[in-house]
Every structure is written in structure tokens, then in C-alpha cells.
Structure 1
């Protein structure tokens, strides 16, 4: 056994203790989210475990332990003098307010799917085969929609679309839009609500997601302006779209270049391909940070296996970076490619033929 530096070992052990705590607390977040415990505390009023149990109808002993664990994590505040727990405004935004730009409870459902589906990914590592999106647990589909929706709510119509050349004006006048890889339709529905004169088409190869998207569109009152259909990125119907959008999905595709060629063939005159991808630098060394850690982990367990399961299997990964995405667009026949805007979690690109 090689000799270890005691200081470095202690630092690593300390980091591991923190990471184990995060992993365990993640299960408590999912539990509290599913049981509605955060929402029951969203008003910020301090409660004892007995009061929260009475309010929710759950057993006090379970509630007490859950509250204690959340307080230890700093996700819930605890007042030792009154023996009461509460959610600060910031904690409520993170765990109780679904439409908050800081809502994170959905993200923990994605993490849950990684643990549940780990044996499937292990098999893929050993065999070299892929693991299709549709082969994952349902918590991935639900968590993905709930995690990305707040970011779309905060940025899509306020910042991203206005950053595209001439697109917002077309949408206000009545453009035709395809949302490819739409999942549960959060992005499609948001655009339909913001631009009532435009016509929207949402496509996804995952049938169950399309069914959910239709239900959500009806609930949102925009079911008459969105057509959701099951189709892949390489065969969705051509309608001379003014805008084809792909939100956080191009890197999951086995043949993103082929998908781009199909997008080019379906765009009308001066049409734009909007590509929203996870934020990443082109060099690995520049992605070794907390955001990169999250995206590389998700890419290992979800994105790369998804691409590997399809034809070509280019496996861009969730940290593809602008240079590789630019090459995909150019190989697909787009001569114009620019980064229109960005957030700490996303890059937004505009491609033209």
C-alpha cells in the first residue's frame, strides 16, 4: 500500500462525510416533497413536530426525525428555545414553491432515478450497450420536468427568446414553432402562454411523456394551440417552422448531426434552430467545478447511455461545450452559429442555414 499524506487524507475524509450527508439528505428531500411536508411549512410559521404531524396527518415520531435531519442539513431552521422548526423565505423557494427559479426538489427526483437505475447503467458499462431514456424509472421523467421548468419560467420568454435575432417579433405576430424533445411540455406550454398568436408543435419519442404533455397543456388552457405528437428528432413532421427549439436534449441524441439536418429541412425562410444546452466550457479542466460535477454525473448515468442506445451513438455528453456543438451544427448544414445568451446552468445558441 502506498503511503498517504495524513493531511490530504483527512481533508478527503471530511469531504466524503459531507458527500454522504448530502446523499442521505437527498432521500429525505424526496420524501418531504412527496409527502407535502415542505408545502405544509411554506407559510414560514414555526411548528413543533406534533403540530406538523397534526397538520399533515402523519405520525409525529417520523415527522420529528425528518425535521431533525433537515435542520442538521440546514434545509430547515430550528429554534432550540421553542423547539420549533420553520422554513425561511429562501428555503421555501428552494423546496416548497414549484415555480420559483430556485426550486430544487425536482432535481432530487433525478438523483433518485440514478440510484434506482444504477444496476442498469452498470450493465451498460460491462456490455457497452446503451440505456434508452424510456428505460429509466418514472421519477426521472417527473424530476426532469420539475427541475428544468423553473429555469424556463425565469429565462425562456424573458431572456432567451429575446436574445434570438427577430424571433420574438415573429412569435408575437403568429409564428410556427416546433419544440423537439419536449418531454412533459413545460417549455412548449410556457411559450404558448406567452405568445397566443403563435402555433406550437411538441415532439418527443417517449409516448408516456407526450400523453403527460397533452394533459398539462389542457390544464394550462393552451391545449387548443399546441399539438403534441410522438416523433423523434429525425422524423418529426416538416411544416416550414419559423423556430425549432431543443431544450437540454441535443446531447442525449445518438445522431445529433442527423437531427440537425432534419431541422434544417423543416425550417422555413429565415427560420432559426434554437439550441439550449447545459453550460460547459470546451476544456475538461475548466469544468471541474460544482456545476460540472452535477452535469458529468448526470451525463454518466443518463445522457451518455441514452446516446449510446441509439444509432451512431455520438455521445456528446452533458458537458459537450460550444466547440463540439458548433461542429454538430456546421456538419448539419448550418453556416451561422452563435451563442445568443447564457445562465450559470445553460447556454443558448442560435443556428441559421
Structure 2
């Protein structure tokens, strides 16, 4: 046994174990607005208590935990804690990456651990709607910044002729839309177009309706509780799916239905998690993040549905391409990618 390697592994354990509890601490900070409050300027725990209305003793542990993890900065000369510009952007800025939302998802799906443990023995699924509400709200909040940054400015222009259609006025089906952030972004950017947002999860669609009303686009976005295999409408100029095909038990059935719902010259915009085709190329920090989410959310949801598929969040391009070909699509290309997503243009 190499004791140096043992020590190295124990070091990894300490980092991971500390991250488990710290995830909960990030969520507490998110719920209480602590990051936004700390972004106002440096503060000792006592000063921070006055600023936030929270109890100093709890704040002391929270601030020290966050500083130990590099999420908050500490000045030993003054005893004050603060956020750097970069920390504030990632943790407190509504236009930033909104990293606390990712921890909200994790804390939410960990509540289903006992169900998943039993599923390992039975092979049963754990459906999306069986999870805590933090999962739904957290997913929308975490993915939103990426969609805001990429969907209208980059992904749609990468599609052949789609931006022009949307500008002139097109019919769009946003399938598996969740809280419909993507639907609202398209409706806001292309006011002559109409969007039908669908999801099988009625609670998410209910929240999506509220968001549409608040955004002032309720007249251009319709909502439907439906699966990817049953959403209504035909002759769509554009069908979109964002980070959801791999969650489905019957992605082939969904692909067939998209093919039937598209106009002859329509486009399927499919956005999936970034993944390499070889397992060894996914064994990295991003892959680890996705495999954890896939273990608790994506794969169990697929196994809860009929269809026989369970692609998981790291399926890679190969299986997605084969599904499109089996569904009758003849044109398939990768048109964009980020460190977290791959964007496909699929056409009849």
C-alpha cells in the first residue's frame, strides 16, 4: 500500500465531506439573501447581523464556513468578511451564473435518497414529480443564466434560416419546458412569433404561467400539460427541447412525435448536456457533476416511464444521433457547444 496515495485520497475525502455540508450552507445563504447583503460591503459577524436581521452566532459559523471554502473572503486584521467582485458575480448578482441554485438542486434531490436506495434493489424509477420543489425551482434558476446568455444571441442564429422565421413570425413548440424560461426568452425576443410550452409536470406549468404573466408575454405563450410524445399541434416551424431528452423513458417516441409535428421545412433545436462518447473522457469534474444529477434525477425519471430507454445525462452524441435517424430525420449537425451543453440542429 502506498501511504502517500492514502493520504492523498483522504485529502479528497475531506474536501468532498466538507462540500456536502457546505452545500446546505450555500442554500441557507441563498434563501436568506446573505450573499446579496455581503455584496454591499465588508462586515464583521455583528455588523452583518445588523445588516441582515439574523442571529450573530449563526452568522459567525456561516461566514467562517464560507470563507474556509473560498466562497467568502476574510480579513484577519479587521475580522471582517466580504465578497470579491468575482464571488459577488457568481453568488449574488441576478445576472450572474447563480451558482447557489445548483446547490438548491442538489439539496433538493438528496431528499429522495431513501427512494433511490430502494430503487437500486427493485429497479423501479423515481419520477420527476416525486422530487422536492427545490429541484424544479433550482433547475430553472440554475439553467436560466446560460439560456439568457446563449439561446437568442448564439444558438438560434446558428440554425439555418430559423432566426429569420422567428423575426417574421413563426410557430414554436417548446417541449419539456419546465418553468418555461426558454419559452419566455423566445417570446420576448421575437414578438411576432407564438410559443406553446408543454411539460408533463403540472406544477411546473402552473409556475410557468405566472412567469409569463409577470414577463408580459402571456398573449404570445400558450401552455399545455403534456408529454413529449403527446404535445399538441402541427406544422411547427421550430420545436425545441432543452436539457430534457435524456430524461425520457421513450426518447425515440418523442423524436417520432417531433418529426410529425414539424412543418416540412421545420427545425428541431435540441440542447443536451455536454458529454464525450467515451466513458473515460467523461471522468472529470463536469462529468462528475452530471453523473450525480443523472443518478438522482435523469435516470430514475426515465426508468419511471415506459419506453425502455435510460440514456442518462452523459449519453453523448452517438445515441442522440441514432435516435434522430431512427425517427426519420435526415439532417443532423452540432451547431454550437459550451462547457456544459451541446446544441444540435435536426431537420427532416
- In 2, the alpha carbon distance for the partners of 1:82 and 1:158 equals 44
**2, 5, 9: which is aligned to 2:2?**
5
- In 1, the alpha carbon distance for the partners of 2:109 and 2:308 equals 21
Aligned: 1:295 with 2:266: no
- 1:213-252 superposed matches below 5 A: 213-252=208-247
Aligned: 1:30 with 2:57: no
CA positional deviation for 1:124: 1.0
- In 2, the alpha carbon distance for the partners of 1:213 and 1:148 equals 15
Q: Is the 8 A contact 1:131 1:309 kept in 2?
A: yes
TM-score by length of 1: 0.97
Match of 1:161? 156
Aligned: 1:89 with 2:122: no
Deviations 1:201-253 (A, max 9, x none): 10000000000000011111111110011011001012311000000000000
**49, 55, 74: which is aligned to 2:51?**
55
- 1:181-196 superposed matches below 5 A: 181-196=176-191
Q: Classify the secondary structure of the residue corresponding to 2:157.
A: helix
**101, 105, 108: which is aligned to 2:100?**
105
- In 1, the alpha carbon distance for the partners of 2:114 and 2:94 equals 31
Q: Classify the secondary structure of the residue corresponding to 2:218.
A: coil
- In 1, the alpha carbon distance for the partners of 2:120 and 2:155 equals 37
Runs of 4+ in 1 over 3 A off after TM superposition: none
- In 1, the alpha carbon distance for the partners of 2:225 and 2:36 equals 34
- In 1, the alpha carbon distance for the partners of 2:133 and 2:98 equals 20
Q: Classify the secondary structure of the residue corresponding to 1:339.
A: strand
- In 2, the alpha carbon distance for the partners of 1:345 and 1:36 equals 27
Match of 1:315? 310
- In 1, the alpha carbon distance for the partners of 2:216 and 2:76 equals 47
Gap regions ≥5 residues in structure 1: none
Deviations 1:292-342 (A, max 9, x none): 011111111110000000001300110010011000111111111100110
Q: Is the 8 A contact 1:98 1:146 kept in 2?
A: no
Match of 1:305? 300
Deviations 1:84-105 (A, max 9, x none): 11111111111112331x2211
- In 1, the alpha carbon distance for the partners of 2:153 and 2:242 equals 16
Match of 1:66? 62
Gap regions ≥5 residues in structure 2: none
- Report the RMSD for the aligned CA atoms in angstroms: 0.9
Q: How many aligned positions are there?
A: 348
Q: Classify the secondary structure of the residue corresponding to 1:163.
A: coil
- In 2, the alpha carbon distance for the partners of 1:252 and 1:313 equals 12
Deviations 1:27-74 (A, max 9, x none): 10001001111111223x111111211111111111111111111111
User: Which has the larger displacement, 51-60 or 301-310?
Assistant: 51-60
Q: Classify the secondary structure of the residue corresponding to 2:264.
A: strand
Q: Is the 8 A contact 2:110 2:296 kept in 1?
A: no
Q: Classify the secondary structure of the residue corresponding to 1:268.
A: strand
- In 2, the alpha carbon distance for the partners of 1:140 and 1:342 equals 25
Q: Is the 8 A contact 1:253 1:313 kept in 2?
A: no
TM-score by length of 2: 0.98
- In 2, the alpha carbon distance for the partners of 1:29 and 1:161 equals 34
Match of 1:335? 330
Match of 1:283? 278
